[in-house]
Structure 1
Amino acid sequence: MKKQNTRDVKAHLLRGAFYLLLFVGLVVVVALSAAINMPNPASKFSTWQDNLAFGKVRESASSVAASATRKNQTLTFADRVAYQRAIEEVYWRHRIWPKENPDPKPSLDAVMSQAQLEKKVEDYLRKSQALEDYWQRPITTEQLQAETDRMAEYTKQPEVLHELFDALGNDPFVIAECLARPTLAERLLTHGALEQLKQTSQTYNRIVPATATFILPIISDTPFGCLDDSWAATSSTNAPTGRFDQTAVWTGTEMIVWGGTRNGFRNLNTGGRYSPATDTWTDTGTAGAPVARSGHTAVWTGTEMVVWGGNADNTGGRYNPLTDSWTATSTTNAPTGRNSHTAVWTGNQMIVWGGVNFIGLTFNTGGKYNPSTNTWTPTTTMNAPATRTGHTAVWTGSEMIIWGGWNGLSSLFNSGGKYDPVTNSWTATSSSNSPSGRYGHTAVWTGSEMIVWGGGSSDYFDTGAQYNPKADTWMVTRTTNAPSGRTNHTAVWNGGEMIVWGGFGASGVTKTGGRYDPGTNSWTGTSRTHAPLARSGHTAVWTDSEMIVWGGVNSAGDALGDGGRYCGQGTHRDPYPATGFDTESSTDSRASTMSVTSLIKPAIDFQCSFARIRAR
């Protein structure tokens, strides 16, 4: 009996211990479950020190599952770098690689290193942290959602924005954190804040990610992002300081504006990159940038914007938008310093020619700059056109054609020349039936002809002509329905029409323009509804579907820091003309829009203080 009781006690003890352990286990499971599902206000972005090795990332940008309902999602630094690479891949895919370039377009990895990707991520995380630590303005969930919504609503390149969203897995959280946060952080920081930010620590482990749900917005589905013959304002948030006599190039994904002057005396070495896809501006870096200037030129090479000359002697710089960095151009064998010259890109060289120096001396010299070797080669003066400034230049695929201009004194030219960089030789253009001599006109290349229009002398011209370099012949453009005569306007080619806009005429600055169809030799006016303020000395580039104008000066002499997007694709969907006379050797001419537009301000009765040649 005693043994039986002992066995019963042991059994009860064992069962009690078992139930106790079971109870403790259930408590632990419930506690863990609650902890997992409990909002955690202390969750952080992983710091860059947590994972320096890009190769350690376990999920690529395309493999992270999308979710519109996840909360408390965090991204490691490596995750962010992977997503940044996905973003850069989209932009690089759309970046113009001029077809004259002898080598094929390289891969993104060949032009952007892992370290450079990491630097971009570090930069926007530091800015986000600074907003919280130094200005007590942390970026909120609502702000990130609003920025994502704004991009979707106001995009002018919806196809590119779709690709960006796709590259980020269409995950609203990732889109908010990796696409919206960088632009928002840049915008919210003032210039003074950025200067202070340079002195701050590079740690940002205290940044708390948003915990609310993000919603993926519907991207505007307007065909080609715009309606034909309509205007829309460019964002002015974070845009560069107002200016005129600046340059602008189109890269395929963004317009880069740089340099210029505030009032004819206060020159600038700042600029900005405008993205139509997200309707946002980003400052260009000033570290290593050329000294402030105006009256310079700029061309796009496929990877860099090359600026040169202006009222800052014979110096220049190459700007890489991928890395936001500058490299100085060599001055060895460079042409004499000048401004209001012209420049074109051939595929491997930038050719600059003509212009005027600070004492008013005009040139018929130039140089060929090779960015690969950072070297200059002079252009011959044998059979070169007479010295001039205020002329225009276009690249045909095999030759640079310059035309018009004046000698800085009294002589106006209706002559020009064709320069072959391979043979280093000049051939004069015919003057038979050519337009009358002028300066400050524009010229575009259509694929087979150069169209010049406008300009001035003692009057303002509404005339022009089409020049066929193969036949060396001119055909006059009609004046019926043409815009009023003007100078210092801009012109772009949309694939079937030349679009001119703005400028200075007999009635002062203007906000009118016109579209010229060389096939029918006819003009159609551009809409004035929602057009930017009247201006002169602005810049213009052509994108896939629209002309973007920016900057310039108004009738009161005030420098402008705004612009507009004009949808002018019409029925033409091949806006990038073939170069030369063989359609198989076509070239994307978007990058060199500004190389054909003279922005000189000659001293011939402009009746405006800003419109005089600068004797610097």
Structure 2
Amino acid sequence: MVDSLRRTLLPIALIASAGLALACHRTPSGGEHPDGGQAGGGGGDQAADGGEGRFCRRAWSKSAAIPEGPIVSKDSGAAWTGDRLLVWDSSREHAASYDPGTRRWTSFEDRFPGKRVRAAAGGQLLVVIEGQYPAPLSGLLVDARSGETRPFAAPRKVLLEPMRFGEALLFSGDSWAPSQSEDLLRFEPATDRWTEIEGPLPQARIQPTVVIGERLLLRWGGQDRQDQQIQLVDGSVIDVQTMRRRLLPQESGLGSRRYPMGSAHGTRVALWGGSGDQGQLRDGAIYELESDRWQPIPALPEDLASGDDWRGVVLGETHMLVWDLQRRIASYELASGRWSLTVLPESAWTHLPGLIRDESGRAIFIGDERYGLFDPVRGWCDRALPREAVGRFSLFRAWTGEGLLLWGGITNGRSGGCENHTGPQGCDPWMEHNAHGDGWLLER
């Protein structure tokens, strides 16, 4: 029971990567923008006149449908390899890849009987024999381009479920999930290379904030593993280049807080928000890997912080963004240390939006019916989602370097069980969920 609970504890914060845009809207302050126009105007799919309108029109030019592939399952997984989409059905022995250049699917069905696909990284599918820790881990690697397979085996006992770390996978060597464990092995599927993560160990903990970037993995805070009443205020960082762990400097200025949100960009990680003894916190700090130092983030000013419903953090090259369900985006300029606030139009989203980033760290929000790019200098641009994508949840989202890729997802089908219900107690009908195997590449 305890081991099961341990393995289900997930990281509090993870990082994705991607970006998007069209149709501009006025920020509360208006103002001049570098393109020569004024923040402004309109809604729908009509780009505003002036500089920001040109920004919107340049941002996205075309879209292409991804035809339905051989994987249509509620148990599907997906990964972007850098040049193609790799998908699999974790409940069956089946996988496939989609090449946007040829617009064709390649099926890998029946390549690995008796085994299940568990993960993907570095253009390789990881296919392992079903088993439970501490069973030996072995199986096949499947190349996403050629479909060729080759065997692999872990050098020692590890947990079955890995955590993706750039083009590699992190496995736990103990009974804790990789996000909670300090006994980690890094596996590069492209080279079949295993590396032990070495370095000083921090105090054992559960439910830390975990932030994964291209250059690092940072873990901070959480509760003492033996006494969960003790809130920890330290952590560790793993450098991708050296594959060594080091302890984070103590002087972060974060103090004691629970569940701060995190985001990484390059060699930096921002931790912001969370809760303390006096309620929700609205300050944070940025850690720089190369200097091994923290830089404080001042608190969001009271006049910008009405309500405490902040749901996400995005760190970019020049700004850090935080956002809430009321469609407010607070932008912190790293160079000047100043905060500003933008209120998006009501059409942006009504429920918790999906989020990815482009290569410069700009935030792309995927809402109920629209998707949009927020540029901290130029403002907000959005457009309607493809009609067939509206209403889907669990869509796979990736930034390809050329645009936004959306694939799969699930929609609610018919409900049943309540048609003839007349009792005083409410009825909770069952809902049929329909999986999808098609998608879209929205290019710029």
Q: TM-score, normalised by structure 1?
A: 0.41
The residue matched to 2:377 in structure 1 has which SS?
A: coil
Structure with the bigger RCO (C-alpha within 8 Å, sep 6+) is 2
Alignment of 1:344-355 (within 5 A): 344-345=212-213, 347=215, 349-354=216-221
Could you tell me how far apart the structure 2 residues matched to 1:237 and 1:317 are? 33
Alignment of 1:122-521 (within 5 A): 228=61, 230=63, 232-233=65-66, 235-238=68-71, 242=75, 250-254=80-84, 276-277=100-101, 279-280=105-106, 283-286=125-128, 287=138, 288=153, 291-293=159-161, 298-300=164-166, 304-306=168-170, 309=177, 313-323=181-191, 329=197, 333=201, 336=204, 338-339=206-207, 341-345=209-213, 347=215, 349-354=216-221, 364-371=233-240, 374-385=243-254, 386-389=256-259, 391-395=261-265, 397-406=266-275, 411-433=279-301, 435=305, 437-438=308-309, 440-445=311-316, 447-454=317-324, 460-480=325-345, 483-487=348-352, 489-493=354-358, 498-502=363-367, 510=368, 512-521=370-379
Which residue identity does 1:464 align to in structure 2? I
Answer whether contact 2:171 2:178 (CA < 8 A) is retained.
Answer: no
Moved more, 333-342 or 371-380: 333-342
Could you tell me how far apart the structure 2 residues matched to 1:339 and 1:353 are? 9
Which residue identity does 1:284 align to in structure 2? L
Answer whether contact 1:482 1:514 (CA < 8 A) is retained.
Answer: no
Answer whether contact 2:88 2:95 (CA < 8 A) is retained.
Answer: yes
Q: Deviation string for 1:517-548 (max 9, x for gaps)?
A: 43332332332323265215x55321122223
Among residues 391, 394, 398, which one is paired with 1:541 in the alignment?
A: 398
The residue matched to 2:343 in structure 1 has which SS?
A: coil
Could you tell me how far apart the structure 2 residues matched to 1:240 and 1:326 are? 31
Over 3 Å counting, the alpha-carbon distance change for 1:416 and 1:279 in structure 2 is: farther
List runs of 5+ in structure 2 lacking aligned partners: 1-59, 109-124, 129-137, 139-152, 413-430
Give, in angstroms, the shift of residue 419 of structure 1: 1.0
Could you tell me how far apart the structure 1 residues matched to 2:356 and 2:379 are? 16
Answer whether contact 1:498 1:517 (CA < 8 A) is retained.
Answer: yes
The residue matched to 1:530 in structure 2 has which SS?
A: helix
Answer whether contact 1:341 1:354 (CA < 8 A) is retained.
Answer: yes
Could you tell me how far apart the structure 2 residues matched to 1:364 and 1:272 are? 44
The residue matched to 2:389 in structure 1 has which SS?
A: coil
Answer whether contact 1:514 1:523 (CA < 8 A) is retained.
Answer: yes
Answer whether contact 2:164 2:170 (CA < 8 A) is retained.
Answer: yes
Which residue identity does 2:312 align to in structure 1? H
Which residue identity does 2:344 align to in structure 1? T
Over 3 Å counting, the alpha-carbon distance change for 1:444 and 1:421 in structure 2 is: closer
Could you tell me how far apart the structure 1 residues matched to 2:70 and 2:295 are? 48
Which residue identity does 2:439 align to in structure 1? G
Could you tell me how far apart the structure 1 residues matched to 2:370 and 2:432 are? 19
Answer whether contact 1:233 1:563 (CA < 8 A) is retained.
Answer: yes
Give, in angstroms, the shift of residue 391 of structure 1: 0.9
Question: 1:68 maps to what in 2?
Answer: none
Over 3 Å counting, the alpha-carbon distance change for 1:540 and 1:318 in structure 2 is: farther
Q: TM-score, normalised by structure 2?
A: 0.55
Answer whether contact 1:514 1:525 (CA < 8 A) is retained.
Answer: yes
Over 3 Å counting, the alpha-carbon distance change for 1:518 and 1:388 in structure 2 is: same
Give, in angstroms, the shift of residue 240 of structure 1: 8.0
Give, in angstroms, the shift of residue 490 of structure 1: 1.8
Indicate the structure with greater helix content.
1
Could you tell me how far apart the structure 2 residues matched to 1:315 and 1:552 are? 34
1:526 aligns with 2:391: no
Give, in angstroms, the shift of residue 441 of structure 1: 2.0
Q: Deviation string for 1:249-273 (max 9, x for gaps)?
A: 655224578999x9xxxxx9x9987
List runs of 5+ in structure 1 lacking aligned partners: 1-226, 263-267, 455-459, 503-509, 570-616
Which residue identity does 2:405 align to in structure 1? I
Indicate the structure with greater strand content.
2
Over 3 Å counting, the alpha-carbon distance change for 1:372 and 1:545 in structure 2 is: closer
1:565 aligns with 2:440: yes
The residue matched to 1:382 in structure 2 has which SS?
A: coil
